[in-house]
Structure 1
Amino acid sequence: MPTLILDNGGYTIKAGFSTVDKPRIIPNCISKARSERRRPFIGDQIDDCRDTSGLFFILPFQKGYMVNADTQKTIWDYCFSKDVLDVSPSETDVVITEPHFNFKSLQEAVCELLFEEYEFRALCRTSASTSADYYYSITEGASKKTLCTLVVDCGYSFTHIVPYVNGVKVTESVRRIDVGGKALTNHLKEIVSYRQLHVLDETYLINQVKEDVCYVSTDFSGDVAISKKKLSENNTIIREYVLPDYSSIRRGYVRKVEETGQRAKSTEQILRLNNERFTVPELMFHPSDVGIPQMGISEAVVTVIESFPEPLRHHFYDNIVLIGGTSCFPGFKERILQDVRRDASIYADTNVFLPQNPTTYAWEGAKKFSQDPEFSKYMVTRNTYNEKGLNAFVKICDI
């Protein structure tokens, strides 16, 4: 039987059998809408909702960790159902990703769900960055015969900078930054609510706005200078976002550049975005701007690499891998490359690798690992777990 690959993120679940080319991406939440109070929308059922204004979310993850097992089970029930993945747990092996430094009680909760509630045949526990490192080492890194890889995992609740030497995570050098996609969306909500419209209850909408118009600046001071200009003075940063009315417009969209500044139609409500487009993603590089006393991503990357002996630093600088949905911002890769080159203490070839789809790269790595001859060593059967509990996971994939 094929192995089920379950990249269980805080924002989305990337799930699919090892026989398929692409995973199914399902929001890891239960949504409730004002327009349909009686019906909860599980996962991607939200696509069936006619009016997504004022959505209320029930999340199994908080601050990057699965703290609500009941909610997670409800979402998994939907994912494993015949209409979605059609999983027969008793005949299926499963690979699941967990966050780094996961608490033991939460590890136990996940294992109990998968083994005792669903009764999967066998389980392999790993992390998204470990899967990404494995996939990179046998594809992009194979030609370089690389020894060291630095994986930057930009997720929903956090960003992890994780170094690997010969495929083994160097735990004491891992850095976590408490800024991810969720913090950026919340910050954009506050800015827009202060300047234009009250949208503090519109998380779903503002998240779409963030994904559609925001970008990472590679010349922050230059972009600030441009954003201070009026539209008539050649301000190339301003964009206008047409908000949905949930009747004729189901999803908001960005107006064409040549239409920017033109009078809105009677059916259109316009949200104008200027410096918000680049100042919101800038939080990833300067978390202290919103009171988070931590270093930014670029600084953390250099700090982690510089903690290693000089012979290894060249390899790390040459193999920086970006994964996670938050790394999809335009300009993100270029900004990391620019900052790291500037701050590196030694002259070295710096290479930043951004996969074609950073969101599913970890899933693809786990899928590839499930076909490895060594894979069976990391699998724990249900019977073994019943005898030894968490101690059965002696060979764990570097969580």
Structure 2
Amino acid sequence: MAFWAGGSPSIVDYFPSEDFYRCGYCKNESGSRSNGMWAHSMTVQDYQDLIDRGWRRSGKYVYKPVMNQTCCPQYTIRCRPLQFQPSKSHKKVLKKMLKFLAKGEVPKGSCEDEPMDSTMDDAVASDFALINKLDIQCDLKTLSDDVKESLESEGKNSKKEEPHELLQSQDSVGEKLGSGEPSHSVKVHTVPKRGKGASLNQILCRKLQEKKKKNKLLALMILRFSTELALQSRASPPSLGFLFMTNSSLSFASPSEAYHQLEVRLVPASFEDPEFKSSFSQSFSLYVKYQVAIHQDLPDECGKTEFTRFLCSSPLEAETPPNGPDCGYGSFHQQYWLDGKIIAVGVIDILPNCVSSVYLYYDPDYSFLSMGVYSALRREIAFTRQLHEKTSQLSYYYMGFYIHSCPKMKYK
């Protein structure tokens, strides 16, 4: 069967729904039912029209659930990146990644669905607000100097304060710290006792000052990185806050002075592409590690044939129209390179109206970075915004199917 609306045709073999089969979501042995077709080749516009009608692809197989018969109805959902505003939990994931890249900090007891802290230090929160209001015409050096001056002036003001102005007892300090107020709101001034070393109040005050200084330095780094992005992309600094850009408009990387180096490369999913071919072995090994650790698959079930058929083969014909994005349309792998090795790969389709997420696999050793949430924020949503600047009709992020009865889909 072939169908087209001008240009190259899409060639498919159609398979109408006949039998029920095992459901991959609820594990019902005979509960799932769908229509499908094997796509030998397909234009990006034809696939765009199909996913808008509830179809999705797995490799070259394109299918649509029979909604009134299947055990787990699957709904196509999409996000509007241009209107998207990150929640507190999203900001925490971004902040966690920045701390890891900038200072090498590894969070303790962290996981994918970790709840967001109820409060955020005012020092960091105020700099978040500043980032979102920055004028792109501002000079990076001027911005950095302004922040430094504010830090220096704050230091001078703190030196002017006399220790005798305010005296609080240890009991009142304990009430403040246990009252639920942010720690930076506790101002303690004590009179040193001769010959007896530092008092509890002095120790607490010193620790609070050190914490505040660290937050200010972190906020300065956030400000600098975000402004660098704005000056290079010539667009308003993104509200997501922690995007790092190299000279390539489609390649993201952390600054050279960071503790860890993170680079995200967009590679066409094609063995004809030299970069995809050279990184295939490492990408495949990561896939096996992920499937075995996260989905408890047997190593024998994760062969190169299965990997290639599932995540490398695509029916989409690559297109590079003059009015399209610089990378063109088609299927791609977004490779997250940390200090020279791949730690995550996002498989996506770039279509005329959207970026469509196919699959994500990552190194389980880096689960503490919440790679699923981070990749959705940093690459799919932020990336769609970037592509929209060149191609105005490309303004959606498709997150795949949503299954309301499946707990694993709640994050969507």
Report the TM-score when normalising by structure 2.
0.25
Q: Which has the larger radius of gyration?
A: 2
Report the TM-score when normalising by structure 1.
0.25
